[in-house]
């Protein structure tokens, strides 16, 4: 395998709106990010992914872009962005941005021109189709609920949107549009950007016949992702995108890919893949409900362990996956993947350890490094997220009682990850001196950066040690390129695996159970590399208390 510059890196996702507000308007901004680069450096972060900072009406929090060449005023200016690039570079860190090119905003100039003249030049940048039998062209349901087709006022004509109606899908069949997107990507890369996280990219290929599909819900619609799962040809677009842009810059790219067709992984992340890597969502998909969040199953430990380890085996055979516990679309990992008794600092460290030492590129989501949890939500009006509001309606329409619908949203809402970063125990968690745009999690008085800086046993201090271990010159190669083998799978509550490179081997083991366990080793321990609590191993036995994790070489 050819080594690439990103293989041994650790990444961190910033959700700018909720990271740090420097000017007191209640909204996180670029100045705030710049002021915390040293904090990220100290954590051991190499690559910073910024969720969208482009000009946007924020219907979907910036994933609806109105101008690909402009910074949102809320976040700052292009000069500030250039400063961020330069300051990151000074510290040996890389910046990647979100690339949202399946759709844009309905406020984008292209769409405004298209809507004014659907038969004109810009009409071909989008998918306009005549209605069918007095209704929309097909029965597709968008990711945020309701039809994928929005009617053009006064005409029997519709445009396609797989997300909100304010996010019209771009017509990738049009070579002029594709060229304009590639030019834009290269413009950012020429500026010194290290690469991109690529949004919802699997959706760019449509079945141009837009056939009706068997309904999968009481609304008579079929999820538009079913079309994605059937259609052929996305690879042609992705190859062209790569060759016209990323490849020329040796850029790091991480694809957000759900609904991949079976057997395609090597094409996505292999030596000659479309992307450097793609996120591993296999554990997150375990809580996909049959109909929505209201019937989302709880994640069981055994299924979680299997999903993670199976995915590692699959990744190893193809390339590198990007490992996450949470992101801006997901609830907090501590609240989701840990049983009640483990939702503690020890549990947060344990979950972090088994995730960050997997093979692949680890992405830490802001606040994960201090063990942030889901928020307590008392009223549906506290949520901002478009998807949460849709899921609430969906639950009520299915006859779920209000309290239960609220609880389902509370457990699964994307806003759990979007509450402001908890910097200190001061007002608004030190996020803003003004009024925060989104509710602050009331637990900030207990869980915050400032307190954890002072506490040698804190989750934050542990994360620093954990990242440092991964990057320690003595172990870096092993944690980057070493193979992964599941271990102790016969032990009910133990998540364990070995990493092996040449004649060196490391065991990562964690006891997710409520009771202590003792693991018998088939060879003597050489060195204790890390643990989240006092541990007394013998030559070949490893006792683990509840929620204890350990990393040894042996």
Please give the residue ranges that form the binding site for Ca ion (CB under 5 A).
21, 23, 25, 27, 29
Between residues 104 and 334, which has the closer beta carbon with respect to ligand TEU? 104
Tell the smallest beta-carbon distance from residue 61 to ligand TEU (Å). Answer: 7
CB-count exposure of residue 95 (10 Å: 0-12, 13-18, 19+): buried
For residue 183, the tally of other CB atoms under 10 A from its CB is: 12
* Sheet strands (E) in 152-202: 157-160, 195-198
d(CA 68, CA 465): 38
* Sheet strands (E) in 451-514: 483-486, 494-501, 504-511
Given Ca ion, ligand TEU, none, residue 27, with its beta carbon under 5 to 8 Å by kind, binds Ca ion
Task: Please report whether residue 253 would count as binding ligand TEU according to CB under 6 A.
Answer: no
Given ligand TEU, Ca ion, none, residue 21, with its beta carbon under 5 to 8 Å by kind, binds Ca ion
Token pair belonging to 5: 């510059």
d(CA 18, CA 134): 44
Between residues 21 and 390, which has the closer beta carbon with respect to Ca ion? 21
Query: Minimal CA–CA distance to 177: which of 220, 124, 230?
Result: 124
Between residues 63 and 462, which has the closer beta carbon with respect to ligand TEU? 63
Of the candidates 21, 46, 199, 415, the residue annotated as catalytic is 199
Task: Please report whether residue 199 would count as binding ligand TEU according to CB under 6 A.
Answer: yes
Q: Assess contact for 516 and 541: CB atoms under 8 A.
A: no
Given Ca ion, ligand TEU, none, residue 258, with its beta carbon under 5 to 8 Å by kind, binds ligand TEU
Q: Which of 19, 94, 149, 163 binds ligand TEU (CB under 6 A)?
A: 163
Query: Minimal CA–CA distance to 426: which of 452, 444, 453, 438?
Result: 444
Given ligand TEU, Ca ion, none, residue 382, with its beta carbon under 5 to 8 Å by kind, binds none
Q: Which of 84, 160, 189, 200 binds ligand TEU (CB under 6 A)?
A: 200
Tell the smallest beta-carbon distance from residue 27 to Ca ion (Å). Answer: 4
Question: Which residue's Cβ lies closest to Ca ion?
Answer: 29
Query: Minimal CA–CA distance to 525: which of 498, 552, 550?
Result: 552
Q: Calculate the alpha carbon distances from 162 to 104, 233, 432 in Å.
A: 11, 18, 34
Tell the smallest beta-carbon distance from residue 39 to Ca ion (Å). Answer: 18
Task: Please report whether residue 258 would count as binding ligand TEU according to CB under 6 A.
Answer: yes
d(CA 526, CA 275): 38
Tell the smallest beta-carbon distance from residue 154 to ligand TEU (Å). Answer: 28
Given ligand TEU, Ca ion, none, residue 141, with its beta carbon under 5 to 8 Å by kind, binds none
Between residues 16 and 168, which has the closer beta carbon with respect to Ca ion? 16
Active site residue 38: no
Between residues 55 and 359, which has the closer beta carbon with respect to ligand TEU? 55
Given ligand TEU, Ca ion, none, residue 29, with its beta carbon under 5 to 8 Å by kind, binds Ca ion
Given Ca ion, ligand TEU, none, residue 213, with its beta carbon under 5 to 8 Å by kind, binds none
Between residues 369 and 385, which has the closer beta carbon with respect to ligand TEU? 385
Q: Which of 63, 110, 188, 320 binds ligand TEU (CB under 6 A)?
A: 63
Pairing of the two strands 321-323 and 277-280 = parallel
Token pair belonging to 36: 């915390």
Q: Assess contact for 435 and 443: CB atoms under 8 A.
A: no
Between residues 25 and 124, which has the closer beta carbon with respect to Ca ion? 25
The SS3 of residue 180 is helix
- The three-state (H, E, C) secondary structure of 127-151, written as one string: CEEECECCECCCCEECCCCCECEEE
Q: Please, what is the end-to-end C-alpha distance for the chain in angstroms?
A: 26
Given ligand TEU, Ca ion, none, residue 163, with its beta carbon under 5 to 8 Å by kind, binds ligand TEU
Given ligand TEU, Ca ion, none, residue 200, with its beta carbon under 5 to 8 Å by kind, binds ligand TEU
Binding to ligand TEU (CB under 6 A) within 330-369 occurs at none
Active site residue 256: yes
Between residues 55 and 505, which has the closer beta carbon with respect to ligand TEU? 55
Between residues 143 and 377, which has the closer beta carbon with respect to ligand TEU? 143
Binding to ligand TEU (CB under 6 A) within 102-121 occurs at none
Q: Which of 329, 384, 477, 485 binds ligand TEU (CB under 6 A)?
A: 329
Tell the smallest beta-carbon distance from residue 101 to ligand TEU (Å). Answer: 10
Task: Please report whether residue 488 would count as binding ligand TEU according to CB under 6 A.
Answer: no
Q: Tell me the helix, strand and coil percentages in the chain, rounded to 5.
A: 35, 20, 45
Given ligand TEU, Ca ion, none, residue 463, with its beta carbon under 5 to 8 Å by kind, binds none
Task: Please report whether residue 374 would count as binding ligand TEU according to CB under 6 A.
Answer: no
Q: Calculate the alpha carbon distances from 198 to 9, 101, 195, 203, 246 in Å.
A: 18, 8, 9, 11, 12
* Sheet strands (E) in 38-175: 47-50, 54-55, 67-71, 94-99, 128-130, 140-141, 149-151, 157-160
Task: Please report whether residue 415 would count as binding ligand TEU according to CB under 6 A.
Answer: no
Between residues 27 and 265, which has the closer beta carbon with respect to Ca ion? 27
Q: Assess contact for 533 and 548: CB atoms under 8 A.
A: yes
Contacts of 243 (CB under 8 A, 6+ apart): none
Q: Calculate the alpha carbon distances from 388 to 394, 432, 512 in Å.
A: 10, 25, 30
Of the candidates 256, 326, 385, 390, the residue annotated as catalytic is 256
Task: Please report whether residue 15 would count as binding ligand TEU according to CB under 6 A.
Answer: no
Q: Which of 143, 252, 383, 497 binds ligand TEU (CB under 6 A)?
A: 143
Token pair belonging to 133: 């039998």
* Residues recognised as catalytic: 199, 256
Q: Which residues bind ligand TEU (CB under 6 A)?
A: 60, 63, 100, 143, 163, 199-200, 256, 258, 328-329, 387, 414
């Amino acid at each position: 395998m050819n080594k690439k510059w990103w293989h041994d890196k650790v990444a961190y996702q910033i959700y700018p709106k909720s990271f740090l507000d420097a000017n007191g308007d209640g909204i996180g901004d670029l100045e705030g990010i710049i002021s915390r680069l040293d904090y990220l450096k100290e954590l051991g972060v190499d690559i910073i992914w910024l969720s969208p900072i482009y000009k946007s009406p924020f219907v979907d929090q910036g994933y609806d872009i109105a101008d690909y060449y402009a910074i949102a005023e809320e976040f700052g200016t292009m000069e500030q962005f250039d400063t961020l690039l330069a300051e990151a570079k000074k510290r040996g860190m890389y910046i990647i941005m979100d690339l949202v090119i399946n759709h844009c905003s309905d406020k984008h100039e292209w769409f405004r021109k298209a809507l004014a003249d659907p038969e004109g030049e810009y009409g071909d940048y989008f998918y306009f189709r005549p209605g069918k039998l007095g209704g929309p062209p097909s029965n597709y349901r968008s990711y945020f609920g309701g039809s994928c087709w929005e009617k053009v006022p006064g005409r029997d004509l519709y445009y396609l949107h797989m997300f909100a109606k304010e996010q019209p899908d771009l017509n990738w069949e049009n070579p002029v549009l594709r060229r304009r997107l590639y030019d834009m990507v290269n413009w950012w890369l020429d500026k010194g950007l290290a690469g991109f996280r690529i949004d919802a990219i699997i959706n760019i290929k449509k079945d141009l016949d837009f056939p009706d599909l068997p309904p999968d819900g009481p609304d008579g619609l079929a999820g538009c992702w079913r079309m994605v799962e059937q259609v052929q040809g996305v690879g042609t677009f992705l190859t062209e995108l790569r060759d016209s842009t990323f490849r020329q810059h040796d850029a790091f790219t991480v694809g957000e890919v759900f609904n991949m067709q079976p057997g395609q992984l090597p094409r996505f992340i292999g030596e000659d893949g479309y992307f450097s890597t793609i996120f591993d969502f296999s554990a997150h998909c375990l809580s996909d409900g049959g109909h929505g969040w209201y019937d989302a199953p709880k994640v069981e430990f055994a299924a979680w362990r299997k999903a993670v380890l199976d995915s590692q085996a699959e990744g190893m055979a193809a390339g590198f996956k990007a490992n996450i516990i949470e992101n801006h679309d997901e609830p907090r990992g501590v609240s989701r993947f840990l049983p009640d008794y483990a939702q503690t600092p020890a549990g947060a460290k344990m979950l972090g350890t088994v995730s960050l030492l997997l093979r692949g590129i680890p992405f830490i989501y802001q606040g994960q490094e201090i063990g942030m949890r889901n928020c307590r939500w008392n009223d549906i009006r506290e949520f901002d997220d478009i998807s949460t509001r849709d899921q609430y309606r969906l639950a009520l329409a299915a006859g779920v009682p209000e309290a239960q619908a609220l609880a389902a949203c509370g457990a699964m809402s994307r806003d759990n990850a979007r509450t402001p970063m908890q910097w200190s125990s001061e007002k608004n968690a030190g996020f803003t001196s003004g009024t925060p745009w989104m509710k602050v999690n009331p637990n900030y008085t207990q869980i915050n950066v400032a307190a954890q800086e002072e506490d040698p046993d804190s989750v934050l201090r542990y994360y620093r040690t954990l990242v440092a271990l991964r990057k320690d010159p003595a172990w870096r190669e092993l944690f980057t390129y070493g193979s992964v083998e599941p271990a102790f799978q016969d032990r009910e509550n133990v998540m364990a695996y070995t990493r092996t490179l040449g004649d060196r081997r490391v065991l990562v083991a964690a006891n997710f159970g409520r009771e202590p366990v003792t693991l018998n080793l088939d060879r003597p321990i050489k060195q204790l590399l890390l643990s989240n609590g006092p541990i007394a191993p013998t030559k070949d036995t490893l006792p683990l208390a509840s929620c204890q994790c350990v990393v040894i070489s042996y």
